[in-house]
Structure formats: structure tokens, C-alpha cells
């Protein structure tokens, strides 16, 4: 339980920093969207629905690459990164998935000197 308490404290700290920056409390999906935009390096006003899904995929692959689940395979001619899966994801229930993803998101921000 202590590890989950620590994760929750670190998550609240991240939410607080993002709220100060964007003046809106982010959820996991919006944080992943921000990571995807950061990794793409293309800040624009509008993305198509498909591009938004691709940004989320980029974010998930990026944050999970720190644990060896994915690696960047190439960047296409339009500048979009593509990943290959290196190992299967562990079987998890929805609660465990959320904790796993949040922990990797926090690591991403820590590694990028945001936390």
C-alpha cells in the first residue's frame, strides 16, 4: 500500500504542475496527448481524430520504452515516430494497468526534468 501512496503523491504533484501550466486539471488521456505532441515535436491548433489516436499511441510507446516494451523503429517522411514492440505486456486488471501507466508517465516526466 505504501508504494501506491507514494505513486499517488507523485501523481498529484504532476497534476499540480500541469494545472499551473495549463490552468486545467489533466486526466491520464490528456497527459498522454501532451506527451505525444512533445514527442512528435509538432505543435498545431488542430489534429484529426486519427492523428489524436496516433499521438496517444506515440505517448504510450514512448513511456513504456523505458521498461523495454517498445523501441523507436523509425520516423516516417512526415516526421511521425513509429515503434516496434519488444516484449508482450504483462496481464493486468484495469486498476493495475492504470498504476503501471501512471508510474511510467511519472518516470517520463522525471527523465525529462519536469518533476
State pLDDT tens for residues 35-72.
Answer: 999 999 988 778 999 999 999 999 999 999 999 999 99
CB 71 within 8 A of CB 65: yes
pTM recorded for the entire structure? 0.88
pLDDT tens column, 9-43: 999 999 999 999 989 999 999 999 999 999 999 88
Alpha-carbon dihedral angle through residues 38, 40, 45, 51, given to the nearest 10 degrees: -120
The domain in which residue 76 lies consists of: 2-111
Phi and psi at 72, nearest 5°, equal -65, 125
| Predicted confidence (pLDDT) at residue 78 exceeds the cutoff of 60 | yes
State how far the Cα of 104 lies from the Cα of 39, in Å rounded to an integer.
15
Please tell me the total count of domains within the chain.
1
Amino acid at each position: 500500500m505504501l508504494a501506491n501512496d507514494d505513486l499517488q503523491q507523485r501523481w498529484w504533484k504532476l497534476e499540480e504542475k500541469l494545472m499551473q501550466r495549463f490552468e486545467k486539471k489533466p486526466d491520464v488521456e490528456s497527459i498522454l496527448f501532451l506527451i505525444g505532441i512533445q514527442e512528435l515535436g509538432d505543435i498545431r491548433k488542430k489534429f484529426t481524430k486519427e492523428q489524436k489516436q496516433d499521438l496517444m499511441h506515440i505517448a504510450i510507446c514512448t513511456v513504456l520504452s523505458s521498461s523495454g516494451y517498445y523501441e523507436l523503429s523509425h520516423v516516417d517522411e512526415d516526421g511521425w515516430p513509429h515503434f516496434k514492440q519488444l516484449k508482450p505486456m504483462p496481464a493486468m486488471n484495469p486498476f493495475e494497468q492504470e498504476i503501471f501507466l501512471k508510474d511510467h508517465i511519472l518516470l517520463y516526466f522525471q527523465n525529462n526534468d519536469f518533476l
